[in-house]
Structure formats: C-alpha cells, structure tokens
Amino acid sequence: MRAVVCLKQVIDPLTPATSLALDVQDMKIRVRAAAPPVINGFDEQGIEAALRLRETIRELEIVCIAASERFNTDVMKRALAVGADQLILVQDPSLDTWNSYPVAYALAAAIRQIGGADLVLCGRQGSDWDNGLVPYILADLLAMPLLTLAKRVNIADGKRVEIERVLADGSMTMEAALPAIVTVTSELGALRMPSVAARLTAARKQPRQIALADLGAGAPPALAPEVIDLAIPVTGRNCTFIEAADGPGAGVRLAETLLETGAVRLGMER
Amino acid sequence: MSIELVLRLVVLLGAFVWAGFRFEQLARPLLAAPAEARLRPFLPRAWGVVVNILGHARLMRKPYSGLMHMMMLFGFLFLLTAVMQVFGEGVSPLFTLAAIGGRTWIALGQDVFAVLLLTGVAMATYQRVVWKPARFVGSNQRDAAIILSLISAVVVGMLLQNSCHLAAGRDALAAWRPVSSAIASVLVACGVTGAIAIAGATAFAWMHMLAILAFLVYIPGSKHLHVIVGVPNVYFRDLNSAGRLVTPDLEQPKLGLSDIAQLGRKQALDLYACTECGRCQELCPAYASGKPLSPKLLIMNMRDHLLEAQGAGGHREGAGGPLIGGAISEETIWSCTTCRACMEACPLFIEHVPKIVDMRRHLSMEAGRVPDGISGAMLSVEQRGHPWAGTRFSRLDWCRDLDVRVLAPGETTDTLLWVGCTAAFDARAQKVARALVRLLHGAGVDFAILGDAESCTGDAARRTGNDYLFQLQASANVETLNTRAFRRIVSICPHCVNTLKNEYPDFGGSYDVVHHSQLLGELMGQGHLRSMLRGDREALAITFHDPCYLGRYNGEFEAPRAVLAGAGAAIAEMERSHGRSFCCGGGGGRAFAVEPPDQRVNVLRATQARATSAAVVATACPFCLLMLDDGCKAVARLEGDSTPLQQVRDIAEILDDAMRVADETRAPT
C-alpha cells in the first residue's frame, strides 16, 4: 500500500517583514538568504498523518512529492529524516508561480509516473498564498474522491479511508473508498521529531530529482488569474494616553479619539 | 585454643565473607562500567582530596554540620587504632601497639577522640531528631539512625572495655586514659572490680568487635558507603571547566542515557558516594518551586535502580524497569535549569547536571520526546538559526539607527560583539545591546558584529539534549568566526560566553571570550568611561542577580558589581547571591519551556529580590532579564500595590543611564 504526501516548499511564515522584499517586476516576494524556506506546515501534518497510519499498517510505503522552481534540499530532506521512504522533487522554472494549476498538474503526473497511490495526503492549503486549490485540482486529475480538513485519518480494512473532519462547532466522520485524497488540518498535530540516527541516515539519502519535462504532464489550462499588485503590510504602533478629569470623561474622550482616528466607525456611516 | 577464640575467628570470618559478598555486588556494576579518563593529573586531584576531605572545605559552609562531621571523621580515623587493637588482641593476646605508642599517646588519643566522636553523634542526633532541616526530606532516616547507633556502640564498647580493664587493675595506664579512668572509678565505686570487671572487659570487647563487624557488613547498603567511596569520588572529580559538557559521538548506536548500564564509572561511583545530606536539594530552584526534581532524590533513585538492575545476578535486561519513565520520570528530567547549584554544593563532587543532560539526550535524539515550548524553540534554531520563532525583527533591526559595523569575511576588528539571539530578537533585550553599543562608542572601542552571519551558539540545544543541533550550530559558527579576524569576543549573554569559550574548542574554535560586564569593568578601570559619568547622580539602591552561567559556571561575580558601583549604585545583596545564587528559572532551555503557574522559579527569585526593597533588580543576562521582568510583575500583582514594581535592568543599561552624553538613540524607559 502506498501513501503519497504532497509537499510544498514555502517562505517561512515567521519571516519578519523586514527580511522580505518585493520583486515588483515579476510580482514575486523574495526573501533574504538569512531566512531559509520551510516545508509548508499543513503538509508536515500530512507526513505526520502518514507516519501514524504506518504504525498500524506496517507495509505502508510513504512517498513525498513536491513541485517547485527550485529546492533547498536540506530543508526538504526533513521528510526523509522523519521516516518517508522516498522523496521526489519535481523541478521547473514554470513552477515558480502562485497559480495552483501547473503545480497540481506536475504533482498528478509524478504520482502517475510512480504507479499511482492508494492514498494522497495534502495539507489543507499552502501558508504562502493560501489558495488551498491543489487538492481539489488533484482530485479531478486523478479522479479520486476528496475528503477535506481531517484531524484524524484511518484506513479501516485496506479498502476504505475514514477521517474525522474538523467543523467550526465540532467534527464529522466521513469515509471514502481508496484510492482517495485527504487534506489535513492543524488539529491533527505537529510533525514528530526525527531521531538523530534517522537524520544521519537521511543525510546520506538523496531525493529523486525529476525534471517536469520528463514527466509528460499535460499543459495546464490557461485559467491563471493575474496578480495586479503586491504589498507588504505596514505594521506599527502609536500610543496615546487619554487624559480626563474622571472615568466617565475618559470614556467619552476615548470614544471620540477612536472615531477621530478612524479606528472605529459608527454603524450608520457604513 | 579456647572456645572463645574459635568463636571470635568464626564470627570474624563470617562477617568478612558476608561483607565481601556485599561489596562484590556493589563493585560489579562499577567494574562493568566504561572507565572515564580521570586518573591524571595526580597532584591537583590529590590536593582536592586533602582540601575537601581532610580540610572539609565544602562541608564547612555549614559550620554546625561541618564541625560535627570533622569530629566524627577524625574520631573514626583515630579509633581505627582501637579497631586494630581489639581484633589483634582478640586473635592473639600477645598483640600490642605499644611499639608505636599504644600505651601512651594512642591511649590518650583514643579517649579524647571517643569523646569527640560521641559529641558528633549527639550533634547529629540533635540535628536529625530536633532540628530536622528540610534538606533531609526524602533521605533515609532509618539508615541514619542505624549508623549513629552503631557508631555509639563501637565507641561505648571501646570505652567500657578499657574502663573495665582499669577497674580490674589490669591496666596501668590510668594517667593516659583520663576518660576511661573516670568511668573506671565510677565502676569501682559500684563494686565492679576483680573477676566481674574482667568479665565486663570481655563482654565489652565483644560489643566493640561486633559493632565494628556489623558496621562493616551494613555499610555496602547504606549512605555510609561514602566512608569508602568518598575519597575516590573526590579524586576522580571533573577537572574540566565547569561550562563544558562532553561532546558525544553522534554515530554511536545509543545516544544519551536510557539504560543505567551505560553510566561511566565515575558517574556510577557518584551514585554510591551520595550521603543523602540534601545540600543539593536545599539549593535546587526546581525543587523549591515544587517541581518533581530533587537532585538528591535523583541520585538516590538512580542508585537504587542501578542496584536493582545490575546488583544480584549481574546485569539483566529490563530488570528494575526502565530508567526513564520508571526510576526517573521525564518531568523530573525536564525540570532542571542546569544552574549547577547542586554540583557546587555537593561535598563529594557528585555530577548531577551531566546525568540529567545525558538523559535529555536520549529523550531528544532517540525518543523524540521534548516538551512543547522547548521543542518549538529548538526547531526554530534548526530552521532559522535562533529560538525566538515569531519575532518581528531580523537580526539587524535592533541597530539600524546605530553606527554598527557588520564584519564581512576577511575583515578585521578589535572586539567582535556577539549579540546573541535574545538581544537581537527580543524588543526588551534589544535595549541592552543598544546601551552597550553606546558605551562602546563612548569608550572608543573598535568593534563590529556578525549580523546575519551570527547564528545561535546552540547552548539551549545542547542543554536540552539536542547535541546534534548543537554540533551543527557550533561547526557553522566556528566556520563563520574563523573567516574573520578579531582580538576577542564580547557577548551580552553569559550562555553564549560559556559556549563560545568552553565548548567551541572541541570544534576547532578557541577564542578569547569575555562577558560585557568584564569588558565594561575593564574600560572603567582604564578610565575610559569615568570622565563621562554624570556628576549629579543620586545613589540608586540596586540588588544584583548573579546569572548562573556567569557566576557559578565561569566564576565571575565581581565584574558586574564593579560596573554597578561605578555607575553609583549601592548594592543590596539578596539572601542568595554569588556562588549560592538562585537561578532565574531560564537556564537549560527552561526559558522556552511552559512553566506551570504555581511552579514558577522566576516568581520565587523575584520574591527574594523584593525582600531587599531595592528599586532596581540588576542582572547581566538576557534570559535572566526576561525571566525576572516577568517574575517581578507577577509578584507585584500578587502583593497588590503595597510596594512599587521593581525595575529589572541590565548592568549596561544602568551604566548607560549614568552617562553624561545625551543621545537621541536612547529610548525612553
């Protein structure tokens, strides 16, 4: 039985704004070298879901696949260190995009090339653009049922996958016949720490690099929305002390200040 | 051959065989343990034995217990002559120590030391029964009672044996045995003379001998084993600098300590040496805060586990249950702040912290079980080169408006300022770095920083057991440092200082490293900053918190105080300061751990600081700064508004405030 976990290399979401730069020419966000990328956190939870499945299904093969313009191999090899059997990196300049279609096409082609998968695990969304579309497009391309937002993933009898799906006010249980695609969410729990022995072994392993051209992925539809503008949010703080003779007076003054600065607006003016 | 003699020989032989068997049980795990290279150098090691065993250097820190122990130790040593005598005479009536003074000064000494020993026993009994200091909580009181009884029996047996001899008129040494003579005159007055006295002498000789043999047989299972392993344990003590942990080979099959059989020989000897005196427990901040760790119980539990797992029948796999999670809980292992108060207090140089770190190594590098806050911080070191995940700053943001040079590869500077992650990424700690930069500018020091090329030294990674990450960080930093030229490194963080100075030599990086307190003290000593001090300063009441990694680990207590005094501060010391300082709670990776609300070490320390009524709590470590800042606020909240909130500040900030030069880079405090 094979589980494929789709990974995305993203800008570290905790990179401070001062370390980011806009490339207005290409409409891209660039990071200074001092802040290396990370594996998308939701995707890490996908790996954790696969590792938990393998605790009961001993013969489960875990293959991690990522598609991007270029990779920081040391970062991506964390997947091998925690226990993935194989890491496949699909590389192509065209994958440096926020458009989900080319990425999903590349991933689908890679999954087909290794002979398919019984279960495909994806993070609910990428922490860089937050589109959350790749799993949907993949489900379409691979013609598999899609179960989303799992905080628990279980394979019952080798034939069906059962998940506990997170809702705003609780959870629901869903199941589908394999092969299927499941997206996982942060409630599943963080990726485990690899042992040093596993890290050292992983350090000697090399990921399998595949050029996109060798995969025979079809051309993605030209449905790409266009990025019109990009900006880094400006944050700052400004402290004002409200001075008044007494508490009620201070309250009135506070309300006035909030209105004057535009921090709050009255309902009727909306 | 008389029946009594046969009986004596049989008892003697029986006791020796029994004791030998018990000692052999103890020796087995020791002999099986891998030996550490701790034999040489002979002179400093032997001198340490003289100072600490004969001289009672550490024991005398508690004068009552020290004096008590001194009387008992020297009494015990001198009364070995009586032991020789009773066994010698027991085997052959011709045996005598007369040739070496057995009938003159040895006789006198036996009387004098017997009294001293009994005084010691009385003091010990008073301490155990009436005084009951908290450090004995958890110690084996029954064991102590048995030992004190046996010692009394030996001494009383000897005294009465000698007194009966005198009473029987068979000993002409009355002048040399004043105490025994006094007892003898009482015995004579009670009618104990002649044959009765002779029979008494025989009976008390038996009591003397049996008590000694009982002692011999009892020792191997008792805290009193220290009379035998105390000397080797002090001799084999760690002579490396306190701040250096052993670098493990990461390719070995088992990383960290998870099986008691992995303990090195000295580490195992430590377990036998423990006297359960509790001096470690008394000073342990984790214990004081109510966490499950007591350094004393840690050692006692490991000892019991060692004997269970490896004692009778040799090593059996799995005997005695697991070490971690069985004998020692994971919570206990993670409670330690590595402050080293226990190790500095231990009269027999037991090494608690290395054992804890070794067990953390197993949890971190093999089991992958690390508490949440710590694992997140370490993952951040791995991913970003610093533990402060979520900071809104990059490594250079703190000094953008200051004139600070970033040292590129191949460039040269006099003083390399190692900023450290906390001073670079934490808004509060950044002010310390800024204050130091102003002072360095004022003193005209040629300095530069590494900027983005600086990465976490790995101190917290190493002390939370992730030596893999530590070694990656150390190698990378040494590579960075070795491509730049500088005379010395100065750091704001004692943890960085300690690691750079004491642990990087293992990775090919040997540098002259000083703490900013030392540099500022030196600059003031040379008069560089004195001329800039404002004249109109009011003496500020300040209490100083000694950071563990500056004080206990690197022996620097005076430099920060000199800087404060130079800034015009009047220092009010806390009850626990200098070598006995109480940790802020942030060492050993605990700065990143989630502290249970009712077990916060920083709140305890802030309470101690508050007791001095000083307006300012000064420190010289960014972790201490943040921990105490938090603690002081918590304590002020708990106590209502009875006294104003104490400010927590770094010595550099305090000195900077005392400077004359107005500077727009000085943020309002």
Tens digits of residue pLDDT in A165-184? 999 999 999 999 999 999 99
Say whether A195 and B395 touch across the interface (CB within 8 A). Answer: no
A164 and A37 share one domain: yes
Q: Tokens 């508050």 belong to which residue?
A: B610
Q: Do B394 and A34 touch (CB under 8 A)?
A: yes
What pLDDT, on a 0 to 100 scale, did the predictor assign at position B217?
A: 95
Q: What is the distance between the alpha carbons of residues B649 and A212, in angstroms, rounded to a whole number?
A: 57
Residue type, B115: V
**Rounded Cα gap, residues B515 and B441, in angstroms:** 17
DSSP-H helix ranges across B411-545: 421-425, 427-443, 459-463, 467-482, 494-498, 516-525
Q: Among residues 437-456 of chain B, which lie with CB inside 8 Å of chain A? A: 452
Instruction: List, in sequence order, every residue forming a beta bridge with A121; answer none if it has no partner.
Output: A5, A182
Q: Is there a contact between A193 and B389 if contact means CB atoms under 8 Å apart?
A: no
pLDDT tens digits, residue range A197-216? 999 999 899 999 999 999 98
Residue A201 lies in a domain: yes
- Cα B14 to chain centroid, rounded: 40
Instruction: Tell me how many residue pairs between chain A and chain B have CB atoms under 8 A apart.
Output: 55
Confidence tier at A137 by pLDDT (50, 70, 90): very high
Q: Which residues pair with B416 in a beta bridge?
A: B448, B489
**pLDDT number for residue B318:** 60
Distance from the Cα of residue B581 to its chain's centroid: 12
Q: Model confidence at A270, in pLDDT bands (50, 70, 90)? A: very low
Query: What CA–CA distances, in Å, run from B213 to A73, A248, B295?
Result: 69, 86, 32
Kindly state whether residues A45 and A121 are assigned to the same domain: yes
Q: Does the beta-carbon distance from A200 to B251 stay under 8 Å?
A: yes
Angle among Cα B224, B228, B232 to the nearest 5 degrees reads 125
User: By 3-state DSSP, what share of chain B in percent is helix, strand and coil, each rounded to 5?
Assistant: 60, 5, 35
What is the spatial distance between Cα B651 and Cα B354, in angstroms, rounded to a whole number?
Answer: 31
Cβ-Cβ contacts under 8 Å, A35 against chain B: 384, 394
* Average pLDDT over chain A, rounded to an integer: 92
* Number of structural domains in chain A: 2
Could you tell me if residue A231 is inside a domain?
no
The domains located in chain B, with CATH, are: 36-235 (no CATH), 260-369 (1.10.1060.10)
Distances (CA, A) of B7 to A161, A227, B13, B150, B197: 81, 103, 10, 21, 21
8 Å CB contact between B637 and B626: no
For residue A18, the chain B residue with the least C-alpha distance is B394
A93-102, A120-129, A158-167, B375-384, range with the lowest pLDDT: A93-102
* Whether residue A203 is found in the same domain as residue A247: no
Question: Is there a single domain that holds both residue A252 and residue A152?
Answer: no
This prediction has a pTM of: 0.92
Same domain? For A252 and A170 the reply is no
Same domain flag for A92 and A158: yes
Answer yes or no: do A28 and A129 share one domain: yes
Beta bridge partners of A181: A120, A146
Are B29 and B268 in contact, with CB atoms under 8 Å apart? yes
CA distances for B180 relative to B97, B185, B200, angstroms: 18, 9, 14
| Angle between helices B178-189 and B105-126 in degrees, nearest 10 | 80
Cβ-defined contact of B394 to A196 (cutoff 8 Å) = no
Provide mean pLDDT across the span A184-197.
94
- Classify residue A220: in a domain, yes or no: no
Do A102 and A209 have their domain in common? Answer: yes
pLDDT in tens, A70-85: 999 999 999 999 999 9
pLDDT at res. B315? 54
Residue A129 belongs to a domain = yes
Same domain as A154, residue A74:
yes
The verdict on a CB contact (< 8 Å) between B368 and A235 is no
With H, G, I as helix, E, B as strand and everything else as coil, classify residue A155. strand
Same domain, A27 and A150: yes
Residue A221 has what DSSP assignment? P
Which DSSP helix (H) or strand (E) runs through B340?
none
pLDDT of residue B637: 86
Q: What is the domain-level CATH number for residue A89?
A: 3.40.50.620
A192:B250 CB<8 A:
no
CA distance A49 to B8: 74
Q: Is residue A51 part of a domain?
A: yes
Distance of CA A136 to the CA centre of its chain: 13
Q: What angle do CA B91, B95, B100 make, to 5 degrees?
A: 145
Is B191 buried (19+), middle (13-18) or exposed (0-12) by CB count in 10 A?
A: exposed
Domain span at A87: 2-215
Q: Specify which residues B571 forms β-bridges with.
A: B542
**How buried is B476 (Cβ within 10 angstroms: 0-12 exposed, 13-18 middle, 19+ buried)?**
middle
**Does ipTM exceed 0.90?**
no
For residue A225, is it within any domain? no
Interface check for B250 against chain A (CB to CB < 8 A): the answer is: yes
C-alpha to C-alpha distance for B394 and B415, rounded to whole angstroms:
22
Rounded to the nearest 10°, the torsion over CA B253, B255, B260, B265 is 90
Q: Is the CB of B366 less than 8 angstroms away from the CB of A195?
A: yes
Distance CA A54, CA A83 (A): 10
More confident residue, A66 or A264: A66
Q: Which regions in chain B score pLDDT beneath 50? A: 668-669
Enumerate the residues of chain B whose CB falls inside 8 A of the CB of residue A16. 391-394, 397
Q: Which two tokens mark B199?
A: 């029979």
Tokens of B191: 């009618």
Interatomic CA distance for residues B142 and B118, integer angstroms? 19
Verify that A68 and A165 share a domain, yes or no: yes
Closest to B614 in 3D by CA, of B580, B577, B579, B586: B577
* Mean pLDDT, residues A239-260 taken together: 89
- A41-52: b (≥16 Cβ within 10 Å) or e: bbbbbbbbbbbb
pLDDT at A220: 86
CB contact under 8 A, A32 and B452: yes
CB contacts of A33 in chain B (<8 Å) are 452
- Residue A123 near residue A115 (C-beta atoms within 8 A): no
Q: Is residue A223 part of a domain?
A: no
Residue A205 resides in a domain: yes
Residues of A with a Cβ under 8 Å from any B Cβ are 12, 14, 16-19, 32-36, 38, 75, 192-197, 199-200, 235
Residue B468 contacts A, CB cutoff 8 Å: yes
Contact list in B for residue A200 (CB cut-off 8 A) is 250-251
Nearest CA in chain A to B251: A197
CA B301, CA B276: separation in Å to the nearest integer? Answer: 11
Question: From CA B556, how far away is CA A82, in angstroms rounded?
Answer: 43
